[in-house]
Amino acid sequence: MARTVLLVGTRKGCFLLESPDRRDWTLRGPFCEGWPVYHAIHDPGSGAIYAAAASEWHGSAVWRSPDLGETWTHSSEGLAYDEEAGRKLSKVSTLAADNGRLLVGVEAPGIFESRDQGATWSLLSTLAGQPGSEEWDDPANQPPGHLGISALMFDRDDSARFWAIVQGIGVFETADDGKSWTPRNRGLRADWPRPHEEVGFCVHKLVRSPSDRARMFQQNHVGMHRSDDEGHSWTEITEGLPTEFGFAAAVHPHDRDTFYVIPLDPGHGRTMVDGHAAVWRTSDGGSSWQQLDRGLPQRDAYVGVLREAMAIDRDDDPGLYFGTSTGQIFASVDAGDNWMQIADFLPSISSVEVATIE
């Protein structure tokens, strides 16, 4: 019988939530020895779980469990810049898996690759020479500058093609396995001066519709945007939302027009607007938005939801899941109409991913 597994990265390790019916959940963990886990993913090809983690004491590593959390190993072999490069790897931020291959995005900005299930790593690209790279290559912006590769997204039809987000710079696409890159930020809005026309955008989250590969959505620092041409151009679709700011986003697996975001207060708090927890959904490609809050706390809920902390499964009635900065996980099994709390008292949550295990 199929079961649903949520992979939860937190400031104190990785946790797994499992359910046979998406209603009754069992928690396991913490794993990864309590290291801060920034992103945990399931690789359907190998069945393994990978977790990008960075310990305050022991540095960065990618953890691997081949058996859904029963056993774990970790490695950072090769996960470092050459000493001569003058840059330092301070954190592993994000993971992507495709056809037995793993990528990890790091700070300072770079992408490392593993072809042996995370045992060893090698540098694939630093996006050298791209507009804006002088900023992230500036030693003054090395840690703690926090410019890094914050997200990676594979093209499922072409493993040499993928997209990378550089924090504060924008989206880049490669079609030749990282040898060359093209900025993909045309049409995005920025409310600050930018030295380059093509970059200087603060992209938080990028998702692509499984049912229409040309369609992408993104949540960035100053709005929601839609692309109908694989990211070559973007149209803003913020109108109708309570704020333009947020981190997490999810796209419906079967409906090209349905997309979810969690708007947050754009100030320093970056929590639910007025303490009212809500997910917002568009069912018409961003022409209009609907607030979804049934079952979510309606007041005094000053919680945040980070970039990788919302996920959606592939069920006919998709399940949506999000984790908060205060350790709760909420789930909906009717595409966001109704919500239930399925976990509480976890450490602050960095990421939530979902896997269906047959």
What is the contact surface with another protein in residues (CB under 8 A)? 33, 55-59, 61, 74-77, 80-83, 88
Nearer to another protein, 80 or 124 (CB): 80
Nearer to another protein, 17 or 61 (CB): 61
| Residue 6: CB minimum distance to another protein, A | 24
Q: Is 174 exposed, middle or buried (0-12, 13-18, 19+ CB in 10 A)?
A: buried
Nearer to another protein, 59 or 266 (CB): 59
In the chain, the amino acid numbered 199 is: V
Those residues with Cβ within 8 angstroms of residue 259's Cβ, 6 or more apart along the chain or in another chain: 207, 217, 226, 249, 250, 251, 252, 281, 282, 285, 286
| Residue 36: CB minimum distance to another protein, A | 8
| Residue 102: CB minimum distance to another protein, A | 17
Nearer to another protein, 72 or 275 (CB): 72
Nearer to another protein, 35 or 330 (CB): 35
For residues 72 and 63, give the distance between their C-alpha atoms in angstroms, rounded to a whole number. 7
Nearer to another protein, 71 or 235 (CB): 71
Closest CA to 228 of 188, 285, 154: 285
| Residue 120: CB minimum distance to another protein, A | 11
CA gyration radius, the chain: 19
Nearer to another protein, 3 or 74 (CB): 74
| Residue 33: CB minimum distance to another protein, A | 5
For residues 213 and 229, give the distance between their C-alpha atoms in angstroms, rounded to a whole number. 9
Nearer to another protein, 58 or 186 (CB): 58
In the chain, the amino acid numbered 211 is: S
| Residue 72: CB minimum distance to another protein, A | 9
For residues 315 and 150, give the distance between their C-alpha atoms in angstroms, rounded to a whole number. 27
Burial code (b: 16+ CB inside 10 Å, e: under 16) for 248-280 equals bbbbbeebbbbbbbbbbbeeeebbbbeebbbbb
Residue 308 tokens read as 């990788």
| Residue 117: CB minimum distance to another protein, A | 15
| Residue 76: CB minimum distance to another protein, A | 5
CA distances from residue 287 to 230, 307, 343 in whole angstroms, order as listed: 19, 23, 33
> What is the separation, in whole angstroms, between the first and last Cα of the chain?
6
